Structure 1
Amino acid sequence: MVKSTFVPTEALLFFNRADAATIDAFAAQIIPSEEGSPGAREAGVVYYIDRALAGFMRDLQPLYRRGLEAISDLAVSVFGKEFSMLYDFEQRSLVAGLDARSQSQPEDFAGQFYRVVREHTVQGFFGDPAYGGNRDVVGWKLVGFPGAQWGYSREQMQPGVDARSIPILTIGDLYSRIGANRT
């Protein structure tokens, strides 16, 4: 199936729509969606990366510009169209090739860019939603992480406790509790 055109659900701070579509599709190949298991796309990883590049990772903007160009050039040279418009199997093939290049040719720029995007995809999937990714705490639910907590009870600290029984809290939840308790 051809990827649909990316439609932003939030304002983009660094990426234009085409760049966001490429990163969204690229991240979706790194952490794909499966039946009953949301992936990078559902977690909003593209928004985490976008916000990070507009803020604390702004020094990586030139790397992303060059990397997006390299991914575009590769997709067009191999398949004749932009990465975000490729079929899933074509995207998967290119990403697998970049993964292999990143391991066998550490000096290869496209392979290096793949490693950077992979790292940022993981950060966006498992980080606190306050940073733009991990929508609906899908990453935390996947691994049974209870999120930001003020602390844990003695019972919760015992070996073998199922952390999925602890209500998931985000940084936003903790801040709202502070504000709600002020008089």
Structure 2
Amino acid sequence: MDHPLLFLNREEAAVLDALVEEILPGEEGSPGASEAGVVEYIDRSLAGFLRDLQPVYRAGLTALRELSGDVTFSDLDAGARREFVATLAESPDFAGRFFRIVREHTVQGYFGDPAYGGNRDLAGWKLVGFPGAQWGYSAEQMRPGVDSREIPLLTIKDLYARIGGGR
């Protein structure tokens, strides 16, 4: 983790980082959730607008620790991680519900504006060809068949900079 943590501790962040990478793994030419900084998004969110979920994350991380036994989830080998996640995804108990919350936050962190943490280097937007935050689109850009990857990528920060309100 190369960012300061606001809610999670280092061990919790490492476990979440391994979990989000299993949820949205990288491949050649496309960074996964870990590289895109999804844990930074989750941590910032839990310290801010998702603070009501702090007890859920603490209990969920404890449940993961108990389920993984003597080895922390982040220390499991790739096959064991995949099997663990497949079991969690189908589980109706608390650990399964927690996993589904983390999966939703992983998607948010991967595809949201980088201003909120996550989507580092616009990884999620590049993956799907989304041009990011735009004030609007020209008539040419709105035509069917236009490749949106040709529209310059802009973030909220870029838009504020254009109006002189850079944050």
Shared fold (TM-score, shorter chain, > 0.5)? yes
Alpha-carbon distance in 2 for matches of 1:62, 1:100: 22
Runs of at least 4 residues off by over 6 Å: none
How much does 1:180 deviate? 7.5
Deviates more, 1:91-100 or 1:138-147: 91-100
Q: Identify the range of structure 1 (134-143 vs 86-95) with the bigger mean alpha-carbon deviation.
A: 86-95
Q: Which runs of 5+ in 1 are unaligned?
A: 1-7
Decide which of 109, 114, 117 is 2:99's aligned counterpart. 114
Report the Cα distance in structure 2 between the residues aligned to 1:37 and 1:111, rounded to whole angstroms: 27
Report the counterpart of residue 135 of structure 2 in structure 1: 150
C-alpha separation in 2, matches of 1:176 and 1:10? 23
Match of 2:110 among 95, 116, 125: 125
1: CA distance, partners of 2:4 / 2:161: 24
TM-score, normalization by structure 1: 0.88
Aligned partners of 2:19, 2:74: CA distance in 1, in Å? 8
| Pairing 1:41–2:23 present | no
TM-score computed with the length of structure 2 as normaliser:
0.97
> In structure 2, what is the equivalent of residue 15 of structure 1?
8
Aligned length in residues: 166
Superposition CA RMSD, Å:
1.2
Structure 2: runs of 5 or more not aligned: none
Partner Cα distance (2:130, 2:12) in 1: 31
**Structure 1 residue matching 2:141: 3-state secondary structure:** coil
Offset at residue 71 of structure 1 (A) = 0.6
Output the amino acid matched with 2:148. Answer: A
Query: What percentage of residue pairs aligned between the two structures are identical?
Result: 65
**Residue type matched to 2:32 in 1?**
G
